[in-house]
Amino acid sequence: MRHTLLPITLATLALTSLACREATQTGTHTADQNAESENAVPSDTTPNLPAAPILDGLTLNRLDGNAETLSEVYAGKTLLIVNTASKCGLTPQYAALEALYKDRAGDGLVVLGFPANNFMGQEPLSNSAIAQFCESEYSVSFPIFEKSSVKDEDVSELFARLASATAEPSWNFTKYLVTPDGTITRFDPQTKPDSVEITNAIDKALGAG
């Protein structure tokens, strides 16, 4: 009997020792996992936000020549798109547009400027000169894109889409409020960026977002 018990006892001891080692390793592994979990940087769980459908497939250059894919850069943003000019009676609206952008950018509003020479040659400047003018005269920080056409046969794709959805610009500083769900509201050039009409529409758009 002694000869039979000895192997069983050794086997039992071996199994017990193995179990202890596994338990220790498991406990250590669990502790390591807990420590890693506590120290881990939280992942970004923010859902992907949509971009306005009117931006789909459009890649445009900023004044400095850098290209932007609009549906990626401005996904989830409410946009105020404006055709601008540096030699127009409405050019001082740049100041109100900049103030609006600074005030509401944190809420999800982005003002986008599109210089155009379609109306009485009132944007004769080059892209680099427009950039310098906007910075020196109005300290503009909102995105401004390369000079383009906003009406007629050579109209840019973006403004062709805006015109199809509402109406083409009637003069410099026509404004289009575009929400991520695709709603587009057009404002005449004389409607100031800080008017109750525009600010109320922006409040409503951002509140809906």
* Residues across the chain: 209
Which of 58, 73, 75, 88 is catalytic? The answer is: 88
User: Are the beta carbons of 175 and 142 closer than 8 angstroms?
Assistant: no
Alpha-carbon gap, residue 176 to 78, rounded angstroms: 10
Taking a C-beta distance cutoff of 8 angstroms, is the pair 160, 118 a contact?
A: no
Q: Are 203 and 104 in contact (CB under 8 A)?
A: no
How far, in Å, CA of 125 to CA of 148, rounded? 12
The residue written with tokens 């502790």 in the block is: 31
88 is catalytic: yes
Residues annotated as catalytic (active site), given as ranges: 88
